[in-house]
Amino acid sequence: MSKKLAMDDLQQWMFVTVLHGATTTSNGFGRMGPVPTSKEDRSDNGNVLRIVAVEMPYFAVEYYAGDHRIIKQLDAREVVFGSISPEYVKALEPKFSDVEFIEQEDWVFEQEVEK
């Protein structure tokens, strides 16, 4: 099971997943007037993400959609990150299958490999 990571635990080159996405709040309209509704963005939940840059509280993460490398920004104040194992990374994201991993406590990092 993924361990919830605190904002201070997150570092460049870590592999993480999103446990809970950002929640957006909007006003709907009911019989009695405005009704606030909220919705969680679950689009990144369970995906393999690699942190490529950190500028607290923002994190640039990369992931692959088919052959396309996508970089997106996430706000750690709004998203709950979780740790993932090297086996999970390799099983779900073949683009990272040749990466050697450094495991430190429950965290997984990419290690530079000389070729």
pLDDT in tens for each of the 115 residues of the chain? 678 888 888 888 888 988 877 655 556 666 766 666 666 666 677 788 889 999 988 999 988 877 888 898 888 888 888 888 888 888 887 777 666 665 555 555 555 444 4
Within a domain: residue 61? Answer: yes
Within a domain: residue 13? Answer: yes
Domain limits for position 89: 4-21+37-111
Give the chain's domain count. 1
Phi, psi angles (nearest 5°) of residue 70: -120, 135
Ranges of beta strands (E only) in 21-67 are: 23-30, 33-40, 49-55, 58-65
18, burial (CB in 10 Å: exposed 0-12, middle 13-18, buried 19+): buried
CA 2 – CA 25 distance, rounded (Å):
27
Within a domain: residue 30? Answer: no
Within a domain: residue 68? Answer: yes
CA 72 – CA 62 distance, rounded (Å):
7
pTM above 0.85, yes or no: no
